[in-house]
Structure 1
Amino acid sequence: GQEPLQMVFRHKDSDLSFKDIRKMPKAEQQAYIQALKQEDQARGFDLGTDSLMRVQVLQTDEETYHLVWSFHHIIMDGWCLSLVTGEVFGTYFALLEQKQPELAPITPYGHYIEWLERQDERAAKEYWSSYLAGFEQQTLLPGADTLSRDHVADSRESVLSATASDTSEYVSEKITVELDPTWSEAMYRIAKQQQVTINTLMQSVWGVILQKYNNNEDVV
């Protein structure tokens, strides 16, 4: 068909497993759990056949359990994760106290789709056309004609120097940077204060960096 459709199964088995590992020594338990997590992550999800959420419960002591909860990003993101975990553990603690869990009414996703269909596409296009009006300069990150790295003796520091020039020929690389707890806590605090995700915060920082490099306030 010409339009995307959502397929909803009338019945779909959940992927829930339980294993009792109380007889294992503590060190062996930790190794087992770590291996299980790595195996689960490597397995990934088959969107066509898999249940898109897996829960594995491991009993490690008489009243101690280790919960491994995996899910595909297509059904749950960081924004709604706290809402779902709040419902799950709220239900769990209610049942422990032999109370009936109280859950808020669920709004069907179809209501959102119906609302979306009623929106004025022309008004939306006019809004963005107006918003982007006057954008003339391509937003580039200055490239490097020459690149040299000088290692400082007896330390883990390295000095990276570059001669910048405008170029659109970039080499894609993945760079991992570990932040200390102070930086991490500050990022989460700012995101929480602004009620945005960490991703939105980082995109905003990236926009400011591009603005400074291009000496231009109009950054797309």
Structure 2
Amino acid sequence: GDAEHLLLVTMHHIVSDGWSMSVLVRELTALYAAFHAGQVPTLAPLPVQYADFSVWQQEWLQGETLETQLAYWKEKLAGAPSALDLPTDRPRPPVQSHRGATVDVRIPPEVSQALKALAQREGATPFMLLLAAWQLLLSRYSGQDGISVGSPIAGRTQAETEGLIGFFINTLVLRARMEPRATFRELLAQVRGTTLAAYEHQHVPFEKLVETLQPVRDLSRSALFQAM
């Protein structure tokens, strides 16, 4: 129309992640505001480009550094179950598909506040608390005492990367061991320690981890974890 327009932008996931979307929108907004005001747009110059990050990662993540990072994951995931055996109402298809549905879960404010207070008392984040509860629930349903859950991480550990559009995200495998006599607070402490250690060893690309650990492959399941 004369006064209203719609801009449609398509950007492939191979060159962008969720963080990149906010960068794109922020810069487009700044450029449009300058255009609308008849001003010359000014964006802060980027200190590095994605190619610089890629070169740095390839040069840094090798030799002793790579071995140290991989050693942590080898030890942490040694003996982990290859599959999460949840009871299902339908037979598993021979090849994994993405057919399914989503269910929104809304936590009442008073419960949310109580959870945050508990996390704070235990020196954990709400994410760690909910992860511990999620892993405990999966353990109850599956009857397994070892539960691995995948979790995305932004991967922007250098300040110079915060203004870049690119694919920095990585996937971490967070494993919890259920002890029959442990309290939930003890489980939360374990999950807290596991999560912090995983952040310290977040630089190994997930595909490199799969290549190194060589888990039993099954076309009906994703490797290393099936819950995220």
Name the structure where strand makes up a greater proportion of residues: 1
TM norm structure 2: 0.42
Select the structure with the greater relative contact order (CA < 8 A; seq sep ≥ 6).
Answer: 2
TM norm structure 1: 0.44
